[in-house]
Structure 1
């Protein structure tokens, strides 16, 4: 039984996972909107409270700690007050962040979401998207090499904010492979060649369509064709494609299996992809096979999308969800 195995393995081992990727602040403003502005046809939001939580690769790391794992995070932030805030939040969450670098040439990424009655009114982004320079690229790679050696699994959480350059991705994947460590990719952008050699790539349907240039992936024939493009370009061993209300597909160059969605209620899908990749990595590190890891990640996603904003879950909650 899946829940029994999860409980047993979780008691035997504490996975150590290295997350490398773009970190950001998710800023939430909550209020009520009962009238339109006299200045423009937009709602007036009366602010009741607000919060800041760690987002992007930081949310992946936070999901891992919520599951009970040990996590190290390598990333870059702006040399500004928001960068200091990111560092403090990571420390408060017990996320090892000695490999968080501060770049004077960029501002920290902040996504401000304004919500009224649990509905998002607007999102405001502040960010720089230029790639890190070659010196910082080398500094980050040297910093993560010992972390790769110590970790059970490595996640590259790419939000296309300039950290995960082609050279840095290839150096990390090559070094991890030489140390017999699996690299899981949460991809962004249309060029997946920088992920060549990774153990697994996890796009959603839209991302798969964009990178394969195959539109309207709405059946297994198109899914297979799109996947074959990725396999040819990256030589990855596995693709896991999240399919929204249809669940997720697990593909190899020879096979395709679709796992049905487990969610019964959906309030907010923000951060659900982070939960999926974190849970998959955690379960693979425990010793589950990929099929089992994806099953458990499916249940984890079903839990977090019942909440507004980026949410996390625990092994106990997942076991309860499986047994319901």
Structure 2
């Protein structure tokens, strides 16, 4: 059984070294109640009873990996501001290596503020700069991550389209990984997947795949494979792992495709579920599981975190328990 194999690997194998490179952000949650409308405008008045701040983006991928039991190295950019310091503080408290995080004084650290009344998401307010990393900082960043690439078992590119993972930087990182025989797993963003050329796995969701392949809609397996073929020609990736929401996860190569059905569960919030999938996928591949096993385990991990409001993480013990059911 897969649960037994995962348990044995977790107990007997060394922790994998995983390097996460990507956009960092701070997720700010304001929880309260709404019992009346404002006299100033037809909007609810929120009485705040709790506020929390957690790390998001690539930092959430790193947090997922830490909870799974990996040795995690996180590389990214923050602004030279209080939000960047808060991200580093949260990561340090979770014992995630932050030595590869660089301050960029030309940008604000991304912060997303979500206001939630009861179980209703009322509004999201974003504060950020998303201009592309400068050529000078790009070279500094590449030099910063080079040694860690050599000792990592697998590398994740967590792209949130916030300016770090430019076309040039992505291609340079992937080339450096190939020179060191390291696999790159990409969580993509945007319409131009040519910047991921040479990656081992690219993990879009169905909507992202449709947009990047210029497919109107993906409603069946034929459309899914046809859209994937477009991306394979652009990227020469070995696999696409496509999250299909209620339909599960598809594993597609040039030779075949397979859909792993969704794990039935209650859904409270899908925020960060993609981070859990990419983290679990990379962790399992680094531990020696094949792609189908890794995607299946990632499917179960995602089913656990979407039961919680906000970006959540899970542990190997929880995943094993879920697999055992």
* TM-score in terms of structure 2 length: 0.99
Question: In the alignment, what sits opposite 2:166?
Answer: 165
Question: In the alignment, what sits opposite 2:305?
Answer: 304
Query: 1:178: how far off?
Result: 1.1
Question: In the alignment, what sits opposite 2:145?
Answer: 144
Question: In the alignment, what sits opposite 2:128?
Answer: 127
Counterpart CA distance in 2 for 1:112 and 1:81 is 15
Counterpart CA distance in 2 for 1:25 and 1:52 is 7
Residue 90 of structure 1 pairs with residue 91 of structure 2: yes
The secondary structure found in structure 2 opposite 1:177 is helix
Query: 1:89: how far off?
Result: 1.1
Counterpart CA distance in 1 for 2:114 and 2:16 is 33
1:1-324 equivalent positions in 2, closer than 5 A: 1-11=1-11, 12-324=13-325
Counterpart CA distance in 1 for 2:216 and 2:321 is 38
The secondary structure found in structure 1 opposite 2:107 is coil
Counterpart CA distance in 1 for 2:40 and 2:70 is 50
The secondary structure found in structure 1 opposite 2:189 is coil
Query: 1:85: how far off?
Result: 1.1
Q: What does the per-residue CA deviation read over 1:173-229, in whole Å, with 9 as the maximum and x for residues that have no partner?
A: 011111111000000000000000000000001100110010110101110110000
Counterpart CA distance in 2 for 1:302 and 1:210 is 25
Query: 1:263: how far off?
Result: 3.3
Counterpart CA distance in 1 for 2:71 and 2:127 is 30
Counterpart CA distance in 1 for 2:245 and 2:151 is 34
Counterpart CA distance in 2 for 1:119 and 1:283 is 34
Query: 1:119: how far off?
Result: 1.5
Counterpart CA distance in 1 for 2:301 and 2:32 is 28
* TM-score in terms of structure 1 length: 0.99
Q: What does the per-residue CA deviation read over 1:58-101, in whole Å, with 9 as the maximum and x for residues that have no partner?
A: 00000000111110000000011111111111111111111101
Counterpart CA distance in 2 for 1:290 and 1:13 is 20
The secondary structure found in structure 2 opposite 1:216 is coil
Counterpart CA distance in 2 for 1:215 and 1:297 is 28
Query: 1:253: how far off?
Result: 1.0
Counterpart CA distance in 1 for 2:96 and 2:172 is 24
The secondary structure found in structure 2 opposite 1:50 is strand
**Larger mean Cα displacement after TM superposition, 259-268 or 156-165:** 259-268
Query: 1:259: how far off?
Result: 0.5
Counterpart CA distance in 2 for 1:104 and 1:170 is 24
How large is the Cα RMSD of the aligned pairs?
0.6
Counterpart CA distance in 1 for 2:53 and 2:119 is 16
Query: 1:38: how far off?
Result: 1.3
The secondary structure found in structure 2 opposite 1:110 is strand
The secondary structure found in structure 1 opposite 2:267 is coil
Counterpart CA distance in 2 for 1:102 and 1:132 is 11
CA contact (8 A) 1:263 1:303 kept: no
Counterpart CA distance in 2 for 1:209 and 1:10 is 36
